[in-house]
Amino acid sequence: MTFVQGPVRVRVPATSANLGPGFDTLGLALDLHDELEAEVAASGLLVEIGGYGDGEVPLDERHLVVRAMRATFERLGKQPSGLRLSCTNVIPHARGLGSSSAAIVGGVWLARELVAGGRLLLDDAALLDLAAQLEGHPDNVAPALLGGFVISGQDADGSFWAVPGSVDPRIGAVVLVPGSPVSTEAARGLLPADVPHADAAANAGRAALLVAALAGHPEELLRATEDRLHQQYRRPAMPESLALVEALRADGVPAVISGAGPTVLALTDGPGSVTTSELLARCPDGWDARALAISATGAVVVH
């Protein structure tokens, strides 16, 4: 096995998981991208960060992108003698927009590209499986890899799968991002071990409807994004976010908690619409609001 000469660059989108009822199974890629560059060096490890995480994340083997690269090299059978990594991060950290999944996907993708013939040795299905193993679940890494809307899960044997869905071109998104983070671990720690059967049944129906609503029935998005499994249980960690979701939904806006939160995701009928403008105007003080298109592509090499 040999390594390629020179740097490799990859761009990875932000993602929003769950989308209301699709807990740990549904995810959407958004048009907000981190860019990463790596190359094999003679020795050592150099990590440079720009944007989110600068001065906060470790710059050694603990860095999440480095860990993902190391796991991929291990799978491919050889570690390089040295690495140089540069990350330009525009996806907010710990806000429910898939920053960790973008790091993992960027890392596994970079490592594969740095190996000559890497795509023959590790196909996209194997790359998804490795990324999901590193993340623990596939709902964010799948759209980060594939783009668009993705339904994903895990089989009884532990293997992961992902199936792309369709997104009506009229549908866009507005993200309302609080200034303070909430860790995924803290948000998951609030979830009960068991839920009422009626709530599980209701969510199953809503998740199925959401697949159809995104594909071509945006008029059903409000009903389709109703959740009874996880959002309310997370209220203690993000009361302002839940209050905003409830206020928006009361006004007919299909709003949900993005991933583990605390970002609020509102689905719209496309960038530039009156709905989008009104949503941006409702951004609370101290929050950041962005209108984003759905990213049809996932991780891609940048030439």
| Domains delineated in the chain | 8-164+296-301 (3.30.230.10), 172-292 (3.30.70.890)
Rounded CA-CA distance 134/105 in Å is 10
Whether residue 141 contacts residue 105, with contact meaning beta carbons closer than 8 Å, is answered with yes
User: Is residue 94 marked as binding?
Assistant: yes
- The burial of 249, by beta-carbon neighbours within 10 Å (0-12 exposed, 13-18 middle, 19 or more buried), is given as middle
Whether the Cβ atoms of residue 30 and residue 214 lie closer than 8 Å to each other: no
**Annotation-wise, does 100 bind a ligand?**
yes
- Mean pLDDT, rounded, of the chain: 94
| 38 annotated among ligand-binding-site residues | no
Instruction: For residue range 25-45, list pLDDT tens digits in order.
Output: 999 999 999 999 999 999 999
Report, as an integer, the average pLDDT of 48-71.
96
- pLDDT tens-digit map of 125-170: 999 999 999 999 999 999 999 999 999 999 999 999 999 999 999 9
- Is 93 a known ligand-binding residue? yes
Q: Is 96 annotated as a binding residue?
A: yes
Which long-range contacts does 162-169 make (Cβ < 8 Å, 24+ apart)? 162/128, 162/138, 165/211, 165/214, 165/215, 166/214, 166/215, 166/216, 167/28, 167/214, 167/215, 167/294, 167/296, 168/214, 168/215, 168/216, 168/217, 168/218, 169/270
The greatest distance separating any two alpha carbons of the chain, rounded to the nearest whole angstrom, comes to 59
277 labelled ligand-binding: no
How many other C-beta atoms are found inside a 10 Å radius of the C-beta of residue 131?
A: 27
CA 251 from centre of chain: 27
Give the mean model confidence (pLDDT) for residues 161-182: 94
| Confidence (pTM) | 0.94
101 is in an annotated binding site: yes
Is 164 within any annotated ligand binding site?
A: no
Percent of the chain residues topping a pLDDT of 70: 98
Contact 284, 177 (CB under 8 A): no
Integer Cα distance of 118 and 134 in angstroms: 19
> Which residues are paired to 33 by β-bridges?
13
Residue 144 Ramachandran class (φ > 0 left, ψ -120 to 50 alpha, else beta): alpha
Is 92 marked within a binding site?
yes
**DSSP assignment of 213-240:** HHHH-GGGHHHHT--SSSTGGGGGG-HH
Q: Is the pLDDT of residue 273 over 80?
A: no
Find the Cα–Cα–Cα–Cα dihedral 141, 144, 146, 147, rounded to 10°.
140
> At 208, which helix (H) or strand (E)?
helix 197-216
Query: What tokens does 214 get?
Result: 């995104």
> Using CA atoms, how far apart are residues 123 and 127, in angstroms rounded to an integer?
6
Between 10 and 183, whose confidence is greater?
Answer: 10
